[in-house]
Amino acid sequence: MKKFTKGNLLRYSAIALALSGVTTQVNAVCSYDSNTITLDNQTCNVNSTLVTDTSTKLTIASPNTTLANQGQIRVNTDLSGSDTALLLDDTLGLKFSVQIGRSNAVNIESSGTAIQFDGTNLRANTDGFNILNGSTVKGGNYAFYIPNLTDKNMRITITDGTVDGNIYINSSTTNTANHQIVIPDSGSATIRSSDIQGINTVTVNSNATLTIASGTTGSNWNSASLVAQDGSTLTFLLEDINLVDSTALLTTANTTLNTGSTLTLTLANGISGEDIANKELVLINATTKLTNNSNSVIIYDSDGNNLVQEGTEVNNPDEWLVTQQQQGKITFNTSTSNQLSISYDPTNAITLKDYDSAVKFLANTQYESNFVTYVLANSLGLSNERESILVANPSNAAAAKLSRQFLPDLSGADINAAWVWGEQMRSNMEDRLLAYQRQSPIYSYENKWNFWVNSSIGRGSNNNLYGYNLSRYGVHIGADRQLNNEGLLGLSVGVNHSHIDGKFSDINKKMTQLLFMPYFEWNGKPYFASANLLGGAYSVESKRAIADTTAKGDYTGFQFGYQLTGGINTEFKGIHFRPFVSLKEQWLQSEAWTEENSPFALAATTQKYKARHIGTGLSIWKEFELELGKFVPSLDIQYYKQMGNRNFHSQYKLADDSSQSVAYGDFNLDGITGNQFSTKLNARLDISENLNLSGALSYNHFGSYKEAMIGFSVSNTF
């Protein structure tokens, strides 16, 4: 006969009850009936085998078991009752701590209260709850609600898990005034509670980590004291950017951060370092006392990147500097003694290569190394805006471009543009004198005025080291009068606009000129002599791009000049020849000026230039009688040699450099104008004795500058 042991009796009783249709289960020594577990004096494992409905409130009671004989409760299944997920009723005391997730991670979650303990007493001050294996206790109102405890102090131990919701423990008697939350050695806990009442002390032990999640309101622990032991880590998780500059992430009665503890701030998804930049973050507000022996804060973004790291140097052969990635700066605000408040500057910290190496690389990226060295000396290591622009362009290619942009306009393009328009007006005047030579003495202009207008468009470029493109268009108006059969005296004025673009630098200039030119010719058959003077002014609008800034400046200048020409008029078989020699000179001066709107803006001293040329030329033409009038095509060829020093001298310094020295910005540029070769095809139609039309196409080679020009003229005698 089979012997009935206590275990067999329980097993057969369960079978009998099941056969009779009663929904009662027995698991080890605790029984389940209609979502109520009756606890015996042995361990009760609350799991899915025992509990058939985990979506409604589960009650655990012990009506017939004294506290001294009560078994331990181990919850190893998810519970999700909407009002209360787990209720430990008032018949129950706790001999042992309730183990949440003893064998596996569980979620005890409710829109109301996750765990409610209605009992009045505990066996010892170390009893309460222990959350293990990454388990979560989450309540819409309360994670823990313990209203009736009158004997002993409860301890909530979070070995590995999360408490999400408010906590309330009765602390109305002297026997319940020291409730605790403990994160044990090597433990890992997260607490997201906007309100904790009844807890006296929260302790983070050595090598343990406590994450305090802010939620949308921050955490108020009321009378609780927080203690972070040596070797512990206290992490604040910022989940709502609206808390910045307004609300403390944690309010306690007392907070002690012991030496050796680590304090960190982690930004939740959707919050970046830029979002908290230069704003006040109150991490802890201790209403009574704050003791901070940690003295440092580390900030991590949502991907775990350290935003305040000391950083490993990154040496990139394609970059001229060394950078420490993502290195921001933390400032502790000390205006309130019981607050731990910080400000974060997200600016990446840049470690430059040693100064000499940086200068050596950058200065050697182009020719004017002295001036680049001068700019770097006023930038690197000074924490000014120029250094910020430099470190924002770490690549070698960007640095090489920057070192080019540092430089002033060293092309001399403005001087050249002014000089070229003076030469254009001389060319227009020569056309007028040539027309006079062809017409006189066939037509008599005694006591008459001849008025003429010329318009011209030129396009050219300079391809040297500081090359540029030049576009110009101008109008030249003149009037002259025949003095006798051998003389002509005239006066003209010209207006020109030039547009200059640097080919290898980001420099743009717009120039407007106004020049006056009186002229004279004596024609003694076959000899002739002519002379002209020019004088006027110009204005320039300058823009120079440096990185993402633009230095702008306006300045004016003056130019004067003369030309003396002599030659012979001769003819052979109906073809006319006019060889000549000529001496001409121009003086140009740009007044001192200063750029604005860029940290690399420069100041320039007055700049002067002189160009003297001596040369020779030949004009050839032939006349054809047409129905429309007399058609006269002509060819003009000239060559001039520049005499004397062709260098252009200029001086620059940084606009904010208060020193008077410009030693580093003393430039001598070779050959602004240079030798001159010009060839021009001209076609003139004398429609009547008084009205003439002409057009010209020319090619000019002035030093390193080459251009093509097209022009049109009309003249009439009154």
Q: Which pLDDT band holds residue 347 (cuts at 50, 70, 90)?
A: low
**Lowest mean pLDDT segment, chosen from 331-340, 353-362, 460-469:** 353-362
Can you spell out the DSSP letters for 210-257? Answer: EEEE-TTT-EE-TT-EEEE-TT-EEEEEE--GGGTTT--SEEEEEEEE
Pull the structure tokens for residue 700: 């000019």
What single letter denotes the amino acid at residue 87? L
Residue 565 has a CB neighbour count (10 Å cut-off) of 21
Which residue's entry shows tokens 């003893």?
Answer: 102
Cα separation of 102 and 224, whole Å?
A: 28
Mean of pLDDT values over 126-131? 92
What single letter denotes the amino acid at residue 263? L
pLDDT: is 213 or 379 the higher one? Answer: 213
Pull the structure tokens for residue 25: 């289960």
Predicted pLDDT of residue 359 = 62
Cα separation of 502 and 551, whole Å?
A: 14
Q: pTM for the complete prediction?
A: 0.57
Mean of pLDDT values over 649-656? 88
Mean of pLDDT values over 129-157? 95
Is the pLDDT at 512 greater than 70? The verdict is yes
**The domain 413-717: what is its CATH number?**
2.40.128.130
Chain centroid to CA 463: 34
Q: Which has the closest alpha carbon to 638: 571, 590, 563, 699?
A: 699
Mean of pLDDT values over 239-250? 87
Is the pLDDT at 143 greater than 80? The verdict is yes
Predicted pLDDT of residue 19 = 31
Pull the structure tokens for residue 197: 């009442």
Structural contact between residues 272 and 300, judged by C-beta atoms closer than 8 angstroms? no
Provide, rounded to the nearest whole percent, the portion of the chain with pLDDT above 90: 53
Cα separation of 643 and 582, whole Å?
A: 13
Contacts of 174 (CB under 8 A, 6+ apart): none
pLDDT: is 134 or 381 the higher one? Answer: 134
Q: Which has the closest alpha carbon to 412: 301, 297, 547, 557?
A: 557
Is the pLDDT at 295 greater than 80? The verdict is no
Predicted pLDDT of residue 419 = 94
Pull the structure tokens for residue 65: 């078991």
**Lowest mean pLDDT segment, chosen from 63-77, 270-284, 307-321:** 307-321
Q: Which pLDDT band holds residue 33 (cuts at 50, 70, 90)?
A: confident
Provide, rounded to the nearest whole percent, the portion of the chain with pLDDT above 70: 87
Q: Which has the closest alpha carbon to 255: 339, 199, 193?
A: 339
Structural contact between residues 100 and 108, judged by C-beta atoms closer than 8 angstroms? yes
Structural contact between residues 359 and 328, judged by C-beta atoms closer than 8 angstroms? no
Q: Which has the closest alpha carbon to 404: 442, 435, 375, 433?
A: 375
Torsion sign (Cα): 333, 339, 345, 351: positive
pLDDT: is 451 or 329 the higher one? Answer: 451
Omega cis (within 30) before 441: yes
Pull the structure tokens for residue 142: 């309360």
Task: For residue 301, report the phi and psi dihedrals to the nearest 5 degrees.
Answer: -85, 180
Structural contact between residues 549 and 599, judged by C-beta atoms closer than 8 angstroms? yes
pLDDT in tens, 398-422: 777 887 888 888 888 999 999 999 9
Outline where DSSP puts E strands in 485-574.
487-502, 507-523, 527-546, 549-568, 570-572
Cα separation of 497 and 145, whole Å?
A: 86
Domain range annotation of the chain:
25-163, 187-351, 352-405, 413-717
Structural contact between residues 570 and 595, judged by C-beta atoms closer than 8 angstroms? no
Q: Which pLDDT band holds residue 353 (cuts at 50, 70, 90)?
A: low
Q: Which has the closest alpha carbon to 105: 145, 126, 77, 83?
A: 77
pLDDT in tens, 370-403: 788 788 878 877 778 888 888 777 776 777 788 7
| Triad 159, 161, 167: Cα angle to 5° | 95
Predicted pLDDT of residue 424 = 96
Task: For residue 217, report the phi and psi dihedrals to the nearest 5 degrees.
Answer: -125, -10
> What DSSP element (H or E) covers 192?
strand 188-192
Mean of pLDDT values over 520-541? 94
Predicted pLDDT of residue 1 = 36
Question: How far apart, in Å, are the Cα atoms of 5 and each of 31, 48, 118, 399?
Answer: 18, 26, 35, 90
Is the pLDDT at 665 greater than 90? The verdict is no
Mean of pLDDT values over 634-656? 89
Structural contact between residues 387 and 379, judged by C-beta atoms closer than 8 angstroms? yes
Structural contact between residues 376 and 358, judged by C-beta atoms closer than 8 angstroms? yes
Is the pLDDT at 344 greater than 80? The verdict is yes
Q: Which pLDDT band holds residue 580 (cuts at 50, 70, 90)?
A: very high
Is the pLDDT at 645 greater than 90? The verdict is no
Is the pLDDT at 352 greater than 70? The verdict is no
What is the three-state SS of 563-578? EEEEEECEEECCEEEE
Q: How crowded is the C-beta side of 517, counted as CA atoms within 13 Å?
A: 32
Cα separation of 119 and 127, whole Å?
A: 13
Torsion of CA 502, 504, 507, 509, to 10 degrees: 0
pLDDT in tens, 187-207: 999 999 999 999 999 999 999
Mean of pLDDT values over 284-302? 87
Is the pLDDT at 107 greater than 80? The verdict is yes
Count the residues in the chain: 718
pLDDT: is 596 or 400 the higher one? Answer: 596
Mean of pLDDT values over 533-559? 96
Contacts of 377 (CB under 8 A, 6+ apart): 359
Torsion of CA 351, 356, 360, 363, to 10 degrees: 80
Is the pLDDT at 113 greater than 80? The verdict is yes
Predicted pLDDT of residue 337 = 77
**Lowest mean pLDDT segment, chosen from 84-93, 361-370, 654-663:** 361-370
pLDDT: is 574 or 181 the higher one? Answer: 181
Is the pLDDT at 296 greater than 90? The verdict is no
Mean of pLDDT values over 9-38? 53
**Lowest mean pLDDT segment, chosen from 529-538, 596-605, 640-649, 697-706:** 640-649
pLDDT: is 578 or 407 the higher one? Answer: 578
Cα separation of 617 and 604, whole Å?
A: 39
What angle do the packed helices 355-363 and 369-377 form, to 10 degrees? Answer: 140
Cα separation of 415 and 515, whole Å?
A: 14
Structural contact between residues 685 and 630, judged by C-beta atoms closer than 8 angstroms? yes
Q: Report the helix count and the strand count for the chain, using DSSP H and E.
A: 6, 48
Which residue's entry shows tokens 């609350």?
Answer: 46
In the predicted model, what is the mean pLDDT of the chain?
85
Question: Do the bridges between strand 219-220 and strand 196-197 make them parallel or antiparallel, or are there none, so unpaired?
Answer: unpaired
Q: Which has the closest alpha carbon to 602: 378, 451, 412?
A: 378
Residue 27 has a CB neighbour count (10 Å cut-off) of 17
Predicted pLDDT of residue 482 = 84
Can you spell out the DSSP letters for 508-521? Answer: EEEEEEEEEEEEEE
Chain centroid to CA 121: 63
Torsion sign (Cα): 240, 246, 249, 251: negative
